[in-house]
Amino acid sequence: MQVKGKNVLVTGANGGIGSAFVKELLQRGASKVYAAARNKHSLGHLKQLDPERVVAVALDITDATHIANVAGTCSDVHILINNAGVNRGMWLTAPSGQEAARDEMEVNFFGTLAMCRAFAPVITANGGGIIANTCSLLALVNMPVIGTYCVSKAAEHSLIQGLRGEMAPKGIKVIGIYPGQVDTRMTEGADGPKAIPEQVVTAILDGLESGAEEIFPDPMSQQVHTMLLTDPGQVEKEFAKMIPA
């Protein structure tokens, strides 16, 4: 599906990847881009890009009332990009690990699931389209230093797989997006190379428009994905070395 002429909703639009999504969607000729975030005032810079095509939306994906209201207001959506997510930076047995895990599951899994459930009938009514979930490379292998986040993303990965079968008869293609480390607020202070958000989003939308079901949009994700296909046990061992201090 081509972005040009379509109406798109992006959650977590005030973040690094989310903002890049809005900008690139406009460049590709989207008719309308709903930029959603908990704090609507944080979206002013995106609204200024194109006041006619960008619609700022207040949305907390953990709030059922918010979601229902947005699904009613944004009833012309063809493409949903579930980009909102949280990372509490906790290992599984950390003192606050249980709380972090619940928080991350509430947003990364349950919030994403709620958005998919709410917008599936909307997209179907508009003739079909796409649900694209920004998951993570860490959905496929756990990095213990942020183990709770990895678990929530693994749940999201399973959600993506399950939705594909459910959504296909409704005319909805479900896409999983698996970036590696990207230079955003979420990775501040993290070591190692980081991909540039704009380049990652360009690769994601190229994949979306070409019909890909799984997108690995940066060198790190591509390299690790190839390694997982050949020797997943070794990849797990390498990532397991990254344990909390």
Q: Are 203 and 36 in contact (CB under 8 A)?
A: no
Q: Are 159 and 112 in contact (CB under 8 A)?
A: yes
Q: Are 67 and 73 in contact (CB under 8 A)?
A: no
Distance CA 90, CA 144 (A): 8
Sequential pLDDT tens for the chain (245 residues) = 999 999 999 999 998 899 999 999 999 999 999 999 999 989 989 999 999 999 999 999 999 999 999 999 999 999 999 999 999 999 999 999 999 999 999 999 999 999 999 999 999 999 999 999 999 999 999 999 999 999 999 999 999 999 999 999 999 999 999 999 886 665 555 555 668 889 999 999 999 999 999 999 999 999 999 999 999 999 999 999 887 76
If 0-12 CB within 10 Å is exposed, 13-18 middle and 19+ buried, where does residue 63 land?
Answer: middle
Helical axes 16-27 vs 197-210, angle rounded to 10°: 50
Q: What is the number of alpha carbons within 13 Å of residue 74 lying toward its C-beta?
A: 33
Task: Name the fold adopted by 7-240.
Answer: Rossmann fold (3.40.50)
